[in-house]
Chains A and B, each alone.
Chain A
């Protein structure tokens, strides 16, 4: 089994010959498994009732693989697989380092929770349209983006996840949705095109697309305007994907229009992919240029936090409120990328490393908690039959468990102890003060304060107060009873006909427990994010894993 027409010497010069065991395949499997499930589910159009079970099994497999990969990477350092056996830097490298695998694991947890929720809420019609295949395509793209070690390949995975997300966001084709989808699709496509422009310029300048290669070449290069241009373009492109001010307006225009579970997935995963790419490109590939842009990033972070918090205060729709909380979270993460370059010769210590560690921690927390909040909003809307804060009320009495879980999540997202949002904010504030950016620390605290007010008001209105008397045109008890019977009959008929049922609290509970666990025992995750930040700021280990010390 050899390639025809090539002499063995040429073959060994161009390709890797070492055997690849199944354990090494862990790097590629997080992409292979979702794509296999996506294709299988696409072919299962005649077995729509089986699709949720298959999808949950697929997501479980993906989570197990990601956890195994995380264990391996945490103990042995970055893992590499060269696609097609071509030697670096010519082949496409899949490189799993701590940062990428940590994000991939969080993404798998979020995806599994959303799949369980979707199993109960996605109708047969929507399954026929292809909800689950699109879901797996998107997750495959997200995993690929987190694990690839090649800049152009990162662009390809961005497009793969965009295709999946486009399919999900128009699912249902309501008028509101088409409006939101138009804005979402255009602006995201423009952002990835900007990224492609920057990638083309990187290739023109460095002659390579392998990230490990670029990182080393950029460090040995004299500072020049071309690299600053590339870094700025990347900042614009990924800032747009991450919904950073002033490129954030597509997010509140679209994230509240699709199905709840789709909103939850998007809020948990897509903006964080943008953040991941910012960390990877700005801090690992072009650290010196990022240092020059430090004040720009700081200003963007501060504005994003304030806009997000103020926007959340002004919204009466549940999901539009959450949209702004996502934006405020992105601002908080960006603050950790804004610190100036360390003066000492040791790059992996000091405020920048601490800030980056806090940012990664906050991103993981935000993935879990924001997804959980959108799922909670789904349940709240179902139980109160409305998504407007004018009409929801009294949920504390009717669903105490949901109220307790939502309270935990709201406290976590506001950054109050003892839940998962507190520790990363503490790390960030400490790093800001240590790095001479005390004003940014003040903005983080101010934004946290405003978010606390917004969240407290949400809880007071939706759960605490008695249900407001909303005029729904059914005043007489008889009419109300008839309406209730009719609604029950309709819902039973819907369950029978569409395969839908009341979503269980299980995914929400698990995510909330995760938020509590991270808040109570933060050391494990903090040491992992610290090591991940160190691996980004000093990519020697990353480079060594790709090139094996050869170049």
Chain B
């Protein structure tokens, strides 16, 4: 089970890194989302996936009645999903603003902060 998950994680990372290497913001954004999903699966695999009962304690008991799945990776993944979702929303707005204001989503053409023709400081006075 973990081997299959590891394979999927590897594929997701490969696709994500390919997209992140693109010069277009929207592709980089998709790459980040895939990277986040890959990491979530990785945490899930790190908590050891197996076919056991869900980690829910019955109403009338103090402890689970049988061996249950590890609940901690799910808590971690939930946190990571929430965080990556909110960042995705923020970056989407940012990318949209950039496209509207700068008229491009090509990072190679975004040279406003570091202009190419910036000259050296004066060498004497």
Measured CB to CB, the residues of A under 8 A from B are 5-7, 10, 152, 156, 159, 162-163, 166, 170, 173, 175-183, 185-186, 189-190, 193, 196-197, 199-201, 203-205, 252-254, 256-257, 314-317, 321, 389-390, 393, 457, 460-461, 465, 468
Q: Which of B32-91 contact A (CB under 8 A)?
A: 32, 35-36, 39, 42-43, 45-48, 59, 62-63, 72-73, 76, 79-80, 83-84, 86-87, 90-91
**CB pairs A–B below 8 angstroms (6 shown):** A162-B87, A183-B113, A200-B76, A316-B121, A390-B121, A465-B125
Q: Which residue of A lies closest to B79 (CB)?
A: A156
Interface centre among A178, A183, A468 (most CB of B within 10 A): A178
B43 x A185 contact (CB < 8 A): no
Q: Which residue of B lies closest to A465 (CB)?
A: B125
B94 x A316 contact (CB < 8 A): no
Least distance between B41 CB and chain A CB atoms (Å): 9
Least distance between A11 CB and chain B CB atoms (Å): 10
B39 x A196 contact (CB < 8 A): yes
A189 x B91 contact (CB < 8 A): yes
A182 x B110 contact (CB < 8 A): yes
B28 x A186 contact (CB < 8 A): yes
How far is A201 from B6 in the complex, measured between Cα atoms in Å?
Answer: 12
B42 x A197 contact (CB < 8 A): yes
Q: Which residue of A lies closest to B123 (CB)?
A: A457
Least distance between B64 CB and chain A CB atoms (Å): 12
Return chain B residues, CB-CB under 8 Å to A162: 87
Chain A, interface SS category = helix
B73 partner, pick from A163, A203, A205, A252, beta carbons under 8 A: A203
A204 partner, pick from B35, B47, B101, beta carbons under 8 A: B47
How far is A458 from B54 in the complex, measured between Cα atoms in Å?
Answer: 65
B45 partner, pick from A166, A175, A204, A465, beta carbons under 8 A: A204
Measured CB to CB, the residues of B under 8 A from A are 20, 25, 28, 32, 35-36, 39, 42-43, 45-48, 59, 62-63, 72-73, 76, 79-80, 83-84, 86-87, 90-91, 94-95, 97-98, 101-102, 107, 110-114, 118-122, 125
Return chain A residues, CB-CB under 8 Å to B59: 5
B107 x A182 contact (CB < 8 A): yes
B113 partner, pick from A186, A256, A461, A465, beta carbons under 8 A: A256
B114 x A253 contact (CB < 8 A): yes
A180 x B113 contact (CB < 8 A): yes
How far is A317 from B73 in the complex, measured between Cα atoms in Å?
Answer: 47
B32 partner, pick from A181, A183, A193, A200, beta carbons under 8 A: A193
How far is A175 from B97 in the complex, measured between Cα atoms in Å?
Answer: 10
Q: Which residue of B lies closest to A200 (CB)?
A: B43
A193 x B118 contact (CB < 8 A): no
Return chain B residues, CB-CB under 8 Å to A460: 125
A190 x B35 contact (CB < 8 A): yes
How far is A190 from B125 in the complex, measured between Cα atoms in Å?
Answer: 44
